[in-house]
Chain A
Amino acid sequence: MASIDYPLERPKVQEREFSFSEALYSWVATVDHKRLGLMYIVSALIFFVVAGIMATVIRAQLAFPNGHVVGPDTFNRLFTMHGTTMVFLVGMPMVAGFSNYLVPLMIGARDMAFPRLNAFGFWIFLFGGLLLYFSYIGGSGLSGTGSAPDVGWFAYAPLTSRAFSRGSSTDYWAIGVLVAGFGSIASAINVIATTACMRCPGMTLSRMPMFVWVMLVDSWMIVLVLPPLSAGQIMLLLDRYLGAHFFDTQAGGSAILWQHIFWIFGHPEVYILIFPAFAILSEVIPVFSRKPLFGRPAMVGAIVAIGFISMGVWAHHMFAVGMTAWSNTFFAAASMLVGIPTGIKIFNWTATMYGGKLRLDTPLLFCLGFLLQFLVAGLTGIMLAVAPFDWQLHDSYFVVAHFHFTLIGGLIFGLFAGMYYWFPKATGRLLSDKLGKWHFWLLCIGFNMTFIPLHFAGLLGMPRRIYTYMPGRGWESWNLVASIGVIFQIAGILCFVWNVLRSAKRGEVAGDDPWDGWTLEWATSSPPPEYNFEKLPVVRSSRPLWDLKHPQDPDWKYE
């Protein structure tokens, strides 16, 4: 592809063979933001496969009425661990992984502000994740009655109290997630400090790549909302071990208090999870449309607005707990308001493509999948925000379908776009586009086949989190089609795994700048050396590489 004449002195990559133990040591002891970023992403992908296997068992159980693949206790553990894993051990490390790898490269820095805090963050996250999974062995505790957590990923009180959750399973949930959360907070503080202090000369906030902007807002949100969850989990542990009675209804505690604490974290959390996808789209769509991001200031404004509004919508998860009409109206209104900046983002991405020259390679395909699927997710989100409609939809399969459209159809598709886009930067080799297209289409068909029908099951009164259902309620065919869709999804993911394993060794050599990109990460070699840039770059616009490639028509003339 196009090669550019970039004036910075090209760093030389060291070519030396490492023995296995040397290599292992270099990864375990590393404080390099790129290696930590990759370790975050690879661990997240491994947890993603584990959670996917759990989801497959869940769908197998529900394919037919009166399923007997697993019993009720196993099923309840499966959906709890699936949800907890996807949110805390896939979504959160993906945030940390992508921002770690890319933020310093994009702002022309040599590393994150706090490299050792960064390493701490990764290892504590991994420890938390493994601790959570250790519950399968250690959860039985002294009483011998527990196993993995089975209280659902939002662990509503008082189901988590010792009266209803015996053994240590809930403790593993609380401590595992708490500890993994420290990693997210550490990484978020690091991103904030890095963007605040380490931007290269000339990179004002208004010239900062959109990706970095989104991750900056994301990191602020993590710093603001993860501590309430940590506090809640500590209160829960105090309840369980020291008789604190915060959530113990039998001693005058409040079950609703847990819901408030959890969702003050939990709703901003879903925006925290989706933001990396927003960030990736804002980079991939312009490059593959050959046009700058349409309405950059509006896009920045929208992401900040989503950040703010998302802090005031949490109780839309609680429309059915018996709040007053005024509270319900307030939270319905606030929730619908989020739709406005989200709409602005979708419109601006579309406008970026309008008038461009769309290169329909795998990264853009995943972005397009995101746009259409996230549109559906946004609109079902509006339906759920209409509180009276939500009284019917709440805790039904419609909600399950809705948030899988945001987090699989949205987030996961966005992350795949990012992986196809930056894989050549991280490894020096391109992922196969042909396998990528198989991956995309199989996943797209499978995903829609699974989750479109579940909307209808919900409208027909199917509640979520049931391990079985009886025939005759009109749910059978929707569930069967949903389960068949899983087969296509698995095939798609296998294409991806094979693609990564094959291309890492034998893929087409990418060169520094395979996509003819515009941000600074494409100005260094692939993979970048440990110090990223031998000489710090100086930028004059939000697309420094465009300026270099088009000296007659640089961006800084217009910005």
Chain B
Amino acid sequence: MHALFVLLLQVQVPGVPEKRITNIFKPLAGPASEEKTIAVLTLAITGVIFVVVGALITYTIWRFRRKPGDDSQQEPPQVYGSNQIEVAWTVIPILIVFVLIGVSARVIASVENASPPKSMLKATIIGHQWWWEVHYPDYGIATANEIHVPVAGKEKTATYLQLQSQDVIHSFWVPQLAGKWDLVPNRTNYMWIDPQEPGVYLGNCAEYCGTQHANMLLRVIAQPKAEFQAWAASEQKPAVDNPQLTGAKAAFESLSCINCHTIKGTRALGKFGPDLTHLMSRQTLAAGMLTNTRDNLRAWVDDPQAIKPGSLMPSFKLNDKELDQVVAYLESLK
């Protein structure tokens, strides 16, 4: 067990501040900001109601409690009701509700029906039990779990996410960027994010999706445009082919890894698991559970069920030599 604790995530990538506290009241993108504004308004209104009504109830209890020693059988005046009072406490809430309905309608439309800006990046997110497949159709890039996007900057670049699911319903939730939106099989949903600051934004799958729902973590990595372009350019390349690792590569290709994983430019063409072409460019493994280090990678390939019980990747019971070769090859996939 202790080993597991050591394995667990403490990622800090130099230069990119990680935003670990996903407070919805510290939004750093358009949709989350609009949601925060209406949340604060709602909190203010409900807060006032709570104080007023709570005080009224408390005062009533205090003022009209039976005092010690009052044992008289005298009944208090019997009051049956008052139409004026009923009208008053019906009309005031109606007015409050109409204000909230109006404001909600405006924000719903402005988030859901926002027209795309000129400077726009498209990404497709496909939910799987229990990881995220990420595609950039304009760049021909496939990756997993970590979504690189440019920061909004002066051009107000936004990233439009097309949400789909391979199996059951998942939900995309990165609280500081936007409220959640579901990934529903047999259906496509859209949402958009425009991070204001560079950084790693954390999130989770928010719809219960089976055994490992808890460990279906999200990382949105917002970078200045130039850095994003550089990242995209390197991701577009086929897998690194290190001539010193020909043996390791052959070992990998001879194993059943290739039935589920794709590595561009090799025999590995599987579609069930994450694309590994540039595995080492990612910060984490196992949908955000582990830091992407050599030891963790080895432990994961050795026995995924020990780390993420229920994960759809089985342990292949590789011997030490095979394990060394596979890890050595995977480590070369920068």
Contacts and interface: CB of A to CB of B under 8 A. Distances in A.
Interface stretch (A17-25, A205-213, A338-346, A428-436): A338-346
A474 B61 contact: no
Given A296-B80, A332-B104, A343-B89, A322 B187 contact: yes
Contacts of A559: 80
B42 A468 contact: no
A406 B57 CA distance: 18
A337 interface: yes
A159 B210 contact: yes
Contact of A358 (B53, B65, B79, B189): B65
Contact of A249 (B56, B57, B105, B186): B186
A292 interface: yes
A71 interface: yes
Interface in B163-219: 167-169, 171, 173, 175, 178-182, 184-187, 189-190, 202-215
B206 A291 contact: no
B94 interface: yes
Given A324-B112, A468-B215, A295 B64 contact: no
A400 interface: no
Contacts, number: 287
Interface in B1-43: 1, 4-5, 8-10, 20-25, 31-32, 34-35, 38-39, 42-43
B140 interface: no
Contacts of A467: 213-214
Interface residues of A, number: 98
A94 interface: no
Interface stretch (B68-76, B227-235, B253-261, B294-302): B68-76
B60 interface: yes
A32 B210 CA distance: 45
B217 to A, nearest CB: 8
B46 interface: yes
Given A255-B187, A389-B35, A474 B23 contact: yes
A76 B211 contact: yes
Nearest to A464: B208
B24 A459 contact: yes
B56 A350 contact: yes
B107 interface: yes
B61 A329 contact: no
Nearest to A542: B80
B179 A298 contact: no
B50 interface: yes
Given A298-B86, A356-B64, A360-B66, A379 B112 contact: no
Nearest to B38: A388
A29 to B, nearest CB: 43
7 contacts: A322-B182, A322-B184, A322-B187, A325-B108, A357-B75, A392-B35, A473-B202
Interface of B: 1, 4-5, 8-10, 20-25, 31-32, 34-35, 38-39, 42-43, 45-46, 49-50, 53-54, 56-58, 60-61, 64-66, 70, 73, 75-82, 85-86, 89-90, 93-94, 97, 100-101, 103-105, 107-109, 111-113, 129, 167-169, 171, 173, 175, 178-182, 184-187, 189-190, 202-215, 309-310
